[in-house]
Amino acid sequence: MQINVFTLVYLQLSSSARGDPVRCRITLSTDETTESKANHAAAAGSSVKFLPGFEGPLPFELETGYVGVGDSEDIQLFYYFIKSESNPESDPLIVWFVGGPGCSALSAITYEFGPILFEPVEYNGSYPKFVLNPYAWTKVANFLFIDSPVGTGFSYARTPAAKHSDDLRATYHAYEFLPNWFVDHQEFLNNPVYVGGESYSGRTVPIITQNIAIHNEMKKEPFINLKGYVLGNPLTYYGEGNYRIPFAHGMGLISDELYESLMTKCNGDYLTPNQSNTFCLQDVETFKELIKEVNNLHILEPKCNPKPHLMFGQRRSLDEKFHQANNPRQLKCREDWYISSNHWGNDAQVQEALNIRKGFIEKWARCKLFVFPFYKIKVTNTIPYHANLSSKGYRSLIFSGDHDKQVPFQSTIAWIKSLNYSVVDEWRPWFVDDQVAGYMRSYSNRMTFVTVKA
C-alpha cells in the first residue's frame, strides 16, 4: 500500500492547478470569536539531528516544537515538521492530522508514510529500531504533522479548562496553529498548501480547510497559499455505517441469503432499525456474530489484542535485550508492532531528542482513548463542507483502501455521488510498475476519488 499511495499523491500534487477559486460568503466554524492574534508567539521549533533507534544522523530535516493557541495560548500543540527531500523551497506543504480522535502524529510518521518506520517485528523488550522508508511521502512534499486535539501525543493544556475540546474547537485551534507557525517559517508562505488526514479526520479536515479559506477571504495575515485537501478512508457522516453490510457481502463475509434478507427486512437502515422490527433485528445480530472476529480496519489482517504486560511495561535487562534484539520474532499483528512506539515515546532520551517539555505529559501513547472524557463529538456530517470547498475551486483527493470495513469505499462513493458533480474522467485503473494499483474517477469540481489495493 505504501508504494501505491505514494505514487498516487505524487501524481496528484505534481499536477498543475487549474482555474481560480469562486468566492462565496461563509462563516467561521467555531463558537469562539477570538481572532488569530498577531502578537502570538512564534513557533518554538528546534532541529532534531539524531533519534534513538536510528543509527547515525537523520538523512532528512526534522524540526519539532510547540505552538500556542486558544485563550492566552492555554493550549500548546506539538508538531513535527519534515522538509521535502526534493525541493523544499517549492514543493507542497501538507498539514497532516491523524484520526482517533486522540492518535498522535507520530503514528503516521513511523507506521504509515514517514521517512523512517519502526522495524516491522513484534516488540520483544529491546530498544525499538527504525528502518528507512523508500516510499516516504516526504520525498516529494514538506509535511507538518500536528498532535491534535489537545491531549493528543505531546500536546497539552496549561489549565484544567483548556483540556476540554470538541470537533469545532479542535478544528478552530488547528486552523489557528497555522498563522502562528508561519510567523517563524515565512520562507514557506509561497508553497502550495494542502490539508490532509485519515479516518476520523474526515470530520475535521474539511472544516480546518474551510477556516483557512475564510482566513484568506477576510484578508488576514499571513495569506496562506491553500490549494486543497487530501483524505484517506474519511469518516464523513453517520449513515455510512450502513454500507458495511453490502461491503461484507461483496467480500464474501456473509451469504447471499442473509444479505437479501437484510435488504428486504431492514430497508437499508442497519444502524438504528425499528425496535419493533424483530426480523430485521435478528438478521442484524446474525450479521454482527458472523463478522465479530474480522479486523474492521483491514479484513485480510488478523484480529489481535496486544499483550497487556507489554503495552507500558519496563524494558527488560540489558542481557535479555541483546539476546532478543538478535532474535526478533516475525510480526503477526499490527497491534504488536504498535507496542514499539509506546515504549519509544515514553523513553527519557527520546523525549529529550524530540525537545519535549518536561512535566506536562504523564504518559505518552500512540492513541489516547482517554481524550474522550474531555472531547465531545459535535460534527456528524461534513458533506456540506466538501460541497462548499469544491464550489470555491479547491482541489480534493479522496482515497479508500479497498479492504477497510470501518469506512467502506462504497459509503465514500455514495456521499461523493450525492454532490451531483459531473464526471470528467470515468472509472479507470491506475498503475504502479505496470500493475493495477486501484481505480479512480475524476469529477468536474476538481475532486478525485481513488481506491487503493491494500
pLDDT digits (tens, 9 = 90+) for 308-349: 433 433 333 323 333 333 344 456 788 878 888 999 999 999
Distance separating alpha carbons of residues 5 and 299, to the nearest angstrom? 19
Distance separating alpha carbons of residues 296 and 403, to the nearest angstrom? 9
Q: Of 393, 416, 268, 326, nearest to 17 (Cα)?
A: 393
Distance separating alpha carbons of residues 97 and 174, to the nearest angstrom? 9
Cell of 369: 482513548
Report DSSP state, residue 413.
H
Cell of 177: 496553529
pLDDT reading at 13 higher than 70: no
Cell of 306: 496486544
pLDDT in tens, 106-122: 999 999 999 999 998 77
User: If pLDDT is split at 50, 70 and 90, which confidence band does 274 have?
Assistant: confident
Residue 331 is predicted with a pLDDT of 62
Is residue 172 within 8 A of residue 44, CB to CB? The reply is: no
| Domains defined for the chain, CATH in brackets | 2-11+40-238+378-452 (3.40.50.1820)
CA angle, 355 then 198 then 406, to 5°:
130
Cell of 357: 517539555
Is residue 106 within 8 A of residue 62, CB to CB? The reply is: no
Give the three-class secondary structure for 98.
Answer: coil
Residue 325 is predicted with a pLDDT of 36
pLDDT reading at 438 higher than 50: yes
Q: Return the sign of the alpha-carbon dihedral for residues 252, 258, 264, 270.
A: negative
Q: What is the mean pLDDT of the chain?
A: 86
- Reported pTM: 0.86
Q: How large is the greatest C-alpha to C-alpha distance in the chain, in angstroms?
A: 65
pLDDT in tens, 219-273: 999 999 999 999 999 999 989 999 999 999 999 999 999 999 999 999 889 988 8
Is residue 196 within 8 A of residue 105, CB to CB? The reply is: no
The tally of CA atoms less than 13 A away on the side-chain side of residue 209 is: 34
User: If pLDDT is split at 50, 70 and 90, which confidence band does 370 have?
Assistant: low
Chain centroid to CA 355: 23
pLDDT reading at 150 higher than 90: yes
Residue 357 is predicted with a pLDDT of 96
Distance separating alpha carbons of residues 132 and 312, to the nearest angstrom? 26
The residues near 131 (Cβ < 8 Å, ≥ 6 apart) are 116, 117, 118, 119, 120
pLDDT reading at 411 higher than 50: yes
**Interval 413-442 mean pLDDT:** 96
pLDDT reading at 33 higher than 60: no
Residue with cell 431492514: 266
Distance separating alpha carbons of residues 224 and 94, to the nearest angstrom? 12
**Interval 417-421 mean pLDDT:** 96
Residue 171 is predicted with a pLDDT of 97
Residue 40 is predicted with a pLDDT of 40
